[in-house]
């Protein structure tokens, strides 16, 4: 399973765009990149998932360069309620002996200030 | 459409006791995974159940056991509780992938266990 590295913490202000970069140098061919958001004492919430290039949904964008060794989660115009821990995960959902388990790192603690 | 639900929300036990946590997966999901999250850490995979069998297991002792029922709901049992078992226990459900591709696990709100 590919190991991920992301900043431990980031600060931002309301209305700014926040970009959190995750490194995954050993990503495998069948691996997908998934980002989760977690508020204190709550379960992680799926934000976005991608394989290559760019993925966008109503919450965020995910940029994945051609070599797929890194990815960037982009949160447009953050608000105070976006203060949370963001996890970047890499893995192949289908490999049977993995059972689709998710390997979480420490995550990035994003603090949005007024 | 109900998401993943877990019960109870909070629980206090003493060392040596046993505890059972419950999880109902998101509608349409057939796979349930359990995670332990200590304070300030990312969730750690305990095990996963599919078709009522444990399919994959993380680095947890045999004191941690589970079960999946025909309706896909699941239980996590922890015996001989230790102080270090105090954590947020998360249940995640998903639909077993039939081919290589996207798969998303949806998490419940968790059960906060405190062992005194």
Cβ <8 Å between B97 and A49: no
Q: In degrees rounded to 5, what are phi and psi of residue A8?
A: -70, -35
Asked whether the beta carbons of A77 and A24 are under 8 A apart, the reply is no
Cβ <8 Å between A41 and B88: yes
Is B110 an 8 Å CB contact of chain A?
yes
CB pairs A-B closer than 8 Å: 77
pLDDT over 90 (residue B22): yes
Per-residue three-class SS string for A63-104: EECCCCCEEEEEECCCCHHHCEEEEEEEECCCCHHHCCCCCC
Cβ <8 Å between A107 and B42: yes
Cβ <8 Å between B103 and A98: no
Using alpha carbons, select from A18, A22, A36 the residue that is nearest to residue A86.
Answer: A36
Cβ <8 Å between B105 and A106: no
The reported pLDDT for the residue numbered B78 is: 98
Buried b or exposed e, range A63-92, using 16+ CB within 10 angstroms: bbeeebebbbbbbeebeeebbbbbbbbbbb
pLDDT in tens, B37-67: 998 889 999 999 988 999 888 899 999 999 9
Instruction: Give the pLDDT of chain A (114 residues) as one tens digit per residue.
Output: 568 899 999 999 999 999 999 999 988 888 889 999 999 888 999 899 899 989 999 999 999 999 999 999 999 999 999 999 999 988 876 554 445 567 788 899 999 999
Helix, strand, coil percentages, rounded to 5, for chain A: 5, 45, 50
Give the whole-angstrom CA distance, residue B3 versus residue A9. 30
Distance between first and last Cα of chain B? 37
Give which of B42, B44, B55 to mutate to test A binding, by max A Cβ within 10 Å: B42
Is B60 an 8 Å CB contact of chain A?
no
Query: What number of other Cβ atoms are within 10 A of residue B112's Cβ?
Result: 16
């Amino acid at each position: 399973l590919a190991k991920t590295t992301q900043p431990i913490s980031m600060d931002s202000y309301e209305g700014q765009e926040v970009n959190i970069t995750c490194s995954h140098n050993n990503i495998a061919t069948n691996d997908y990149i998934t980002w989760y958001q977690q508020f204190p004492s709550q379960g992680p919430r799926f934000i976005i998932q991608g394989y290559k290039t760019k993925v966008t949904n109503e919450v965020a964008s995910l940029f994945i360069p051609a070599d797929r060794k890194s990815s960037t989660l982009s949160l447009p115009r953050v608000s105070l309620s976006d203060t949370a821990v963001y996890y970047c995960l890499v893995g192949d959902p289908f490999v049977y002996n993995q059972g689709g388990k998710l390997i979480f790192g420490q995550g990035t603690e994003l603090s949005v200030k007024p | 459409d109900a998401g993943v639900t877990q019960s109870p929300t909070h629980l206090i036990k003493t060392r040596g006791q046993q505890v059972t946590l419950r999880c109902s997966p998101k509608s349409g999901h057939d796979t349930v995974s359990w995670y332990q999250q200590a304070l300030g850490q990312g969730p750690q995979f305990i095990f996963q159940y599919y078709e009522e069998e444990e399919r994959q297991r993380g680095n947890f002792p045999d004191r941690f056991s589970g079960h999946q029922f025909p309706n896909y709901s699941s239980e996590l049992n922890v015996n001989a509780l230790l102080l270090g078992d105090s954590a947020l226990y998360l249940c995640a459900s998903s639909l077993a992938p039939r081919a290589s591709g996207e798969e998303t696990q949806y998490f419940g709100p968790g059960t906060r266990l405190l062992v005194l």
